[in-house]
Amino acid sequence: MAANSIREDEELSQVKKSVTIKRLLSYLLKYKKTIVLVMFIMAYCVGVSLVNPLILESVVDDHIVTGDLKGVFILVGIALALNTGRVILVKIRMYVMSKMTNTIIQTIREEVFTHLQTLGFKFFDSRPTGKILSRVMGDVNSLKQVLQNFVITLLPDFCTVVAVMVIMIIKNPRLALAGMTGLPILIIGLLVIENLCRVRWQIVRKKSSNLNAFLHENISGIRIVKTFAAEEESLETFDELNQEHKDAFIKAVRVNDAFNSVIEISTAISIICMYYVAVHVLHIGAENVGLLIAFASYLALFWQPIANLGSFYNQIITNLAAAERVFEVMDLEPEIKDGEAVGEMPAIIGRVRFKDVGFAYEDGVPVLKDVNFDITPGETIALVGPTGAGKTTIVNLISRFYDVQTGTVLIDDTDVKDVSIDSLRSQLGIMTQDNFLFSGTIRENIRYGKLDATDEEIEEACKKVNAHDFIMKLEKGYDTELTERGGGLSAGQKQLLAFARTILSDPKILILDEATSSIDTKSEILVQKGIATILQGRTSFVIAHRLSTIRNADRIFVIEDGGIAESGNHAELMARKGLYYDLNMAQA
Amino acid sequence: MRDKFNLFTHIRRHILQYIVALTALILSVTISMIVPEVQRHIVDDVIVGGRGELLAKLLLLYGVLGAARAAFQYIKEFCFDSVSSKVVVGLRRDLFRHIQSLDTGYFDKNNTGEIMARLKEDIDKVWEALSFISMLLIEVVFHTVFILVCMVRLNGYMAIIPFIAIVSCGVLALRMDKKLDKVFGDISEENAVLNTTCEENIAGVRTVKAFAREAFELVKFRKHNDRYKELNVDLSRVFVRYYPFFNFVSGIVPLLVLALGGLFYIKGMFGITLGVITAYISYSNNIVWPMEMLGWLTNSFSEAVASVKKLNKIYAEVSTINDPEDPVVLDHVEGTITFDHVGFHKEDGHDILKDITFEVPAGRTLGIMGASGAGKTSIVSLLTRLYDVTEGEIRLDGVPIRDLTLKQLRGSISLVMQDVFLFSDTIAENIKMGRRHDISERTIRLSGKRAGASEFIDKMDKGYDTVIGERGVGLSGGQKQRISIARAFAKELPILVLDDSTSALDMETERDIQKRLKELNTITKLIIAHRISAVKDADEIIVLEEGRIAERGTHEELLRKKGLYYETYVSQYGEPEAKEVV
């Protein structure tokens, strides 16, 4: 199957800008009360900053000039009170804003993560962990500023612009028009920059995600890197990705940084036009210079919020790519999901049937063709055959990691598609080749199999798989901290822990997919003896290459070319001198 | 030589661009001080003074200044952005190199997600501090100083108010920084934990799904996601406690100026005129934004400082496994491996290996067997110096491996690990790994064939250029093992170590590979296995038990001993027939 490598950029589905922005806004709209409160506070603050100059003017003109010291102090006192009020309100505003944006970020991250849990292996197999991770973490984080500014910039500044525009037009329409000549230039400039930048910022995000993917692999594969003395090589790759990221960034800012300059130029043009119109068209002279001075300050009031809006717009463009990446994951349809009217899987007895099952990972490349079998409860089935023959696929269909394309998989009398995935899998014990241990203590890791297990139950499970002894030899025993993937333990020990975890889950059907390959023969025999008793009456599937593991199975299926080529117990198959016999002789 | 977080070396490397950026900054601030003057001239001379002929010139000047400011602003921003990204590339590279140089013990103790968070988020914080934050900070300082000078020149006595205001803002900033530092430290820590939680969930998706533990994972995630949010809200609580004071102080400066100015004017002190008061007020208005900005900047700066602290903690880690000062260089590695009374125990004193002695002459094969946790893999880890022995000595061609460079030592051993790790890259790149530049296409194919991998690789659409997923997901266990065997074969090194690396192979493939291995008779081989079939042809077989060599000898000798090896044999094949034992 096609996978995305570290170096390749991810493909991103193209979404309309407005759709993404609307979607971001929809999160804000859940906080209408907060937003209204913030608006009121901002209105008060704007009010205070408008009143402030009036007070100053009055203090100078009416009191200082007349020598009225008392008046000066009274007015300054009023202004101080207004400002103190502002401080308190700003505190409230900042706090509620921060709470709101952080909560939204928390919500979005939770939504992405929750959705991620529903996605199938196809999604996870086709891209590096680091790239998925960067969507949940970095991309979500970068939405914070945008969300914040939606509230504190967009509406207030927009209102200010409109208000000032109205005042200017009322005072003098021609002068007002002249003062806005830069506007078209600004809009065109912003649109051009936006067009150039959008793709560039997307590339920056992708490069950053590539770097993340590389870091993830290189750190988790550090032993391989070291033993192959490949540090320099990986530093080379790192350099490449690091440089690419930087270059992409520089390419983006090269255009993006023109933003403020465009604003600057349009402001300058507007002011020049205004003075020109004032002098040559309106013939303003000394007698009405006050109007001009007022207009100059209005223009400043007009262009400041425009600049804010511009840089907010810029911020949206910069971070849109992050939002797109986040929403893209949220929109992915899980390939395996519960149907509309699913039931719960009843307590499993253990009969497993395949009826004419066909399956392909990729269209046109069938892995299984017309597989039929019927397993009675309590049977142990061994699946053998060359790698790639479809052994793992068969067990993956039982646990519904994939859905069959043709035919049906029945457990007892229930089609696995008709019950919820959760109710099905929680009754199965699946041990794969890739047994992941989480960071945490050994005890916590084993408890993963049964969340409410007591310490006694955990020890019991460990004893059954013969893991108890080695755990007790560790200094902290069950409380030994493991790093992810169980660093510090041998592969065999990790498998034993994973085994204990599975046993603890008390599965009705046990699936062991090369689960004991790293355990030595002696431990394996002990393990088998240990679980033999608890497995009595439970169906199990074992995929293994080691003869000793296979030999005792009730039935052995030899899988070849997507079908069951031979089946029977060890003695029968050996007597037949077919494929199984050949395989057996190879190991002797 | 110790690695450290070395910001200034990198800044020095790009000093020219910094100078350009600073010059542009100074020029653009200067111009913004001049622009109001031009406007004043237009009002005073042209409109009030009636000198219409000056207008064109003044407007032209205004336009030129506007254009120049736009240009300088662009240069300033772009220079700061690009130079800081260059500095950060260097910082990230340093850190990556340092982390990569740390010994395996470090990676046993620290989670991938956490290390990633340091390399990404924490470095990004430093980046922010280097680009727009430092740019704004310089601008704020420059701007403030400029205005203060103007104020003092206008009237020294009145300047006391802005001085007090600025000093108190500075003190406030320092106090806030202290409080923020802890919260930012906590946030950075929680970010690493959250990162680890998500990373494990994604990397361990097969386990999560196998146990249908999605809901549990969500609970775990939610705990950290919620805490991360709480900490961020806590942060704003601290910020909110201080920040409005910046606002307040800057807001009252014009008012206090007015009150004091009014007092002086009315009392007729210090020669204050109305003009001075007006000018003072407009200057005061001009230092409002820098003072408010100071609050934000402190915030961002504390964040970066908290990150630098985390980075310094990583830099404080030193690798205990390093190249010797005076390395012995072997011209040609024959491949004789000697373990001389080797012992190894962990930091907690827990013994892993005790008194291991053996010698594998060049071209010979040693088989290693033993129970899980008996110490088999540790022998390999010691040989490749992933860890250092705590007792005894390991020699390669008679030279203690501590006296060799890591590159020569590890460059002489090709290893197939038990825990197969492949990178999400093409199969060819994975096979070439470690010798990317000198392994030919032919060698790749040949080793693929030898490892029994070519049949399935050739079936793939793009053959050796097929990109495989991380950790080789999408491939079966046996296929992954074969690629990793091919990776070792391709290196054609004097020593080959196979650590339980045929366990997932079907019997036929395994037999083929055993045959190939036998053909490689010039290479020294260490074969760790659970299957008798994998080791029975070795020149010597050692059986480990609890870190000691319990049995040793050839296959036949060991069978005759009827000890551990014999037991294993019986459990795999049943009682040997008499003729086989002899």
Please report the number of interchain residue pairs, chain A to chain B, with beta-carbon separation below 8 angstroms. Answer: 506
Q: What was the pLDDT predicted at A246?
A: 93
How far apart (Å, rounded) are the C-alpha atoms in residues A559 and A552? 18
Which of A236, A278, A487 shows the shortest C-beta gap to B107?
A487
pLDDT-wise least confident of A503-507, B285-289, B329-333, B486-490: B285-289
Of the pLDDT bands very low, low, confident and very high (cuts 50, 70, 90), residue B578 is very low
> Is the minimum CB–CB distance between B574 and chain A shorter than 8 Å?
no
Q: What was the pLDDT predicted at A531?
A: 64
Q: What was the pLDDT predicted at A508?
A: 87
Across the interface, do A517 and B59 touch by the CB < 8 Å criterion?
no
Which residues 6-25 of B are in CB contact (within 8 Å) with A? none
Residues of B in contact with A182 (CB under 8 A): none
Asked if residue A339 is part of any domain, the answer here is: no
Averaged over A63-70, what is the pLDDT?
76
Tokens of B245: 């004071």
Do A278 and A396 belong to one domain?
no
Q: What was the pLDDT predicted at A407?
A: 92
Query: Is residue B359 a contact partner of residue B338, using CB atoms and an 8 Å limit?
Result: yes
Of the pLDDT bands very low, low, confident and very high (cuts 50, 70, 90), residue A353 is very high
Kindly state the DSSP code that residue A351 receives in the 8-state scheme: -
Q: A275 pLDDT exceeds 50? A: yes
Query: Is residue A493 a contact partner of residue A467, using CB atoms and an 8 Å limit?
Result: yes
Locate tokens 């990583």: which residue? B314
Query: Is residue B128 a contact partner of residue B306, using CB atoms and an 8 Å limit?
Result: no
Distance from CA of A210 to the nearest CA of B (A): 11
Q: Is the dihedral of CA B554, B555, B559, B562 positive or negative?
A: positive
Q: What was the pLDDT predicted at A473?
A: 83
Across the interface, do A284 and B86 touch by the CB < 8 Å criterion?
no
B308 CB neighbour count, 10 Å cutoff: 19
Q: How many domains does chain A have?
A: 2
Which residues 314-343 of B are in CB contact (within 8 Å) with A? none
User: Partners of B143 in the beta sheet?
Assistant: none
Averaged over A316-345, what is the pLDDT?
84
Q: What was the pLDDT predicted at A534?
A: 63
Report helix, strand or coil for A364: coil
By CB neighbour count within 10 A (0-12 exposed, 13-18 middle, 19+ buried), where does B520 fall? middle
Asked if residue A445 is part of any domain, the answer here is: yes
How far apart (Å, rounded) are the C-alpha atoms in residues A53 and B172? 27
Distance from CA of A581 to the nearest CA of B (A): 11
**Domains (ranges, CATH) in chain B?**
155-319 (1.20.1560.10), 331-412+495-554 (3.40.50.300), 418-492 (3.40.50.300)
Across the interface, do B245 and A548 touch by the CB < 8 Å criterion?
no
**Domain termination residue (choose one: A331, A366, A389):** A331
Q: What chain A residue is nearest to B468 in terms of C-alpha separation? A: A3
CATH of the domain at A231: 1.20.1560.10
Residues of B in contact with A548 (CB under 8 A): 571-572
Q: Which of B58, B198, B228, B345 to mutate to test the interface with A (most CBs of A within 10 A)?
A: B198
Q: What chain A residue is nearest to B267 in terms of C-alpha separation? A: A67
Which of A56, A132, A264 shows the shortest C-beta gap to B66?
A264
Q: B71 pLDDT exceeds 90? A: yes
pLDDT digits (tens, 9 = 90+) for B386-435: 889 999 999 999 999 999 998 899 889 988 888 788 888 889 988 988 88
Query: Which of B321, B314, B308, B406 lies closest to B3, judged by CA?
Result: B314
Pairing of strands B495-499, B524-528: parallel
pLDDT digits (tens, 9 = 90+) for A245-254: 999 999 999 9
Q: Which residue type, as a one-letter code, is found at position A406?
A: T
**Domain termination residue (choose one: A302, A331, A360):** A331
Q: B464 pLDDT exceeds 80? A: yes
pLDDT digits (tens, 9 = 90+) for A26-54: 998 999 999 899 888 888 887 887 777 77
Across the interface, do B233 and A102 touch by the CB < 8 Å criterion?
yes
Asked if residue A583 is part of any domain, the answer here is: yes
Distance from CA of B5 to the nearest CA of A (A): 18
Do A32 and A90 belong to one domain?
yes
Do A324 and A365 belong to one domain?
no
Do A320 and A356 belong to one domain?
no
Q: B496 pLDDT exceeds 90? A: yes
pLDDT digits (tens, 9 = 90+) for A391-409: 888 998 998 888 898 999 9
A580 CB neighbour count, 10 Å cutoff: 25
Q: E strands within B242-350?
A: 337-345
Query: Is residue A395 a contact partner of residue A468, using CB atoms and an 8 Å limit?
Result: no
Averaged over A291-301, what is the pLDDT?
75
Of the pLDDT bands very low, low, confident and very high (cuts 50, 70, 90), residue A1 is very low
Distance from CA of A20 to the nearest CA of B (A): 24
Share above pLDDT 70 across residues of chain B, in percent, rounded to a whole number: 97
Residues of A in contact with B509 (CB under 8 A): 386-387
Asked if residue A467 is part of any domain, the answer here is: yes
Q: A223 pLDDT exceeds 60? A: yes
Report helix, strand or coil for A357: strand
Residues of B in contact with A318 (CB under 8 A): none
CATH of the domain at A377: 3.40.50.300
pLDDT digits (tens, 9 = 90+) for B110-132: 888 888 888 988 999 898 888 87
Across the interface, do A72 and B263 touch by the CB < 8 Å criterion?
yes
Q: What chain A residue is nearest to B82 in terms of C-alpha separation? A: A250
Residues of A in contact with B209 (CB under 8 A): 121, 401, 425
Q: What was the pLDDT predicted at B474?
A: 67
Asked if residue A12 is part of any domain, the answer here is: no
How far apart (Å, rounded) are the C-alpha atoms in residues A186 and A259? 9
Q: A244 pLDDT exceeds 90? A: yes
Do A40 and A185 belong to one domain?
yes
What pTM was computed for the model? 0.86
Q: B33 pLDDT exceeds 90? A: no
Which of A99, A260, A523 shows the shortest C-beta gap to B372?
A523
Task: Provide the ipTM.
Answer: 0.86
Q: A563 pLDDT exceeds 80? A: yes
How far apart (Å, rounded) are the C-alpha atoms in residues A499 and A523? 12
Tokens of A524: 């394996």
Share above pLDDT 90 across residues of chain A, in percent, rounded to a whole number: 14
Averaged over B338-364, what is the pLDDT?
89
Asked if residue A3 is part of any domain, the answer here is: no
Do A223 and A368 belong to one domain?
no
Do A98 and A138 belong to one domain?
yes
Tokens of A443: 């005890």
Q: What was the pLDDT predicted at B580?
A: 46
Q: What is the mean pLDDT of chain B?
A: 85
pLDDT-wise least confident of A30-44, B48-62, B466-480, B525-539: B466-480
Do A215 and A322 belong to one domain?
yes
Length of chain B equals 582
Q: What was the pLDDT predicted at B20?
A: 93
Query: Is residue B103 a contact partner of residue B138, using CB atoms and an 8 Å limit?
Result: no
How far apart (Å, rounded) are the C-alpha atoms in residues A91 and A512? 59
Do A551 and A456 belong to one domain?
yes
Q: E strands within A96-240?
A: none
For residues B469 and A187, which has the higher predicted lDDT (pLDDT)? A187
Asked if residue A91 is part of any domain, the answer here is: yes
Residues of A in contact with B194 (CB under 8 A): 137
Q: What chain B residue is nearest to A389 in terms of C-alpha separation? A: B476
Q: A551 pLDDT exceeds 90? A: no
Do A101 and A146 belong to one domain?
yes
Q: What chain B residue is nearest to A439 in terms of C-alpha separation? A: B111
Asked if residue A11 is part of any domain, the answer here is: no
Do A325 and A389 belong to one domain?
no
Averaged over B273-298, what is the pLDDT?
78
Share above pLDDT 90 across residues of chain B, in percent, rounded to a whole number: 25
Tokens of B60: 């032209």
Which of A121, A219, A260 shows the shortest C-beta gap to B112?
A219
Q: What chain A residue is nearest to B87 in terms of C-alpha separation? A: A246
Q: What is the mean pLDDT of chain A?
A: 84
Query: Is residue A277 a contact partner of residue A175, using CB atoms and an 8 Å limit?
Result: yes
Across the interface, do A286 and B221 touch by the CB < 8 Å criterion?
no
pLDDT digits (tens, 9 = 90+) for A416-467: 888 888 888 888 888 877 778 888 899 998 998 888 899 999 999 898 888 8
How far apart (Å, rounded) are the C-alpha atoms in residues A12 and A19? 15
Which of B89, B410, B473 shows the shortest C-beta gap to A228?
B410
> Is the minimum CB–CB distance between B182 and chain A shorter than 8 Å?
no
Distance from CA of B375 to the nearest CA of A (A): 8
Host domain of residue A412 = 352-587
Residues of A in contact with B245 (CB under 8 A): 87
How far apart (Å, rounded) are the C-alpha atoms in residues B541 and B358? 10
Q: What chain B residue is nearest to A230 in terms of C-alpha separation? A: B434
Highest mean pLDDT among B148-157, B470-479, B483-492: B483-492
Which residues 68-87 of B are in CB contact (within 8 Å) with A? 69-71, 73-74, 77-78, 81-82, 85-86
Across the interface, do B508 and A586 touch by the CB < 8 Å criterion?
yes
**Domain termination residue (choose one: A270, A299, A331):** A331
> Is the minimum CB–CB distance between B156 and chain A shorter than 8 Å?
no
pLDDT digits (tens, 9 = 90+) for B202-261: 888 888 888 878 888 888 889 998 999 999 898 888 888 888 888 788 777 877 887 787
Do A396 and A510 belong to one domain?
yes
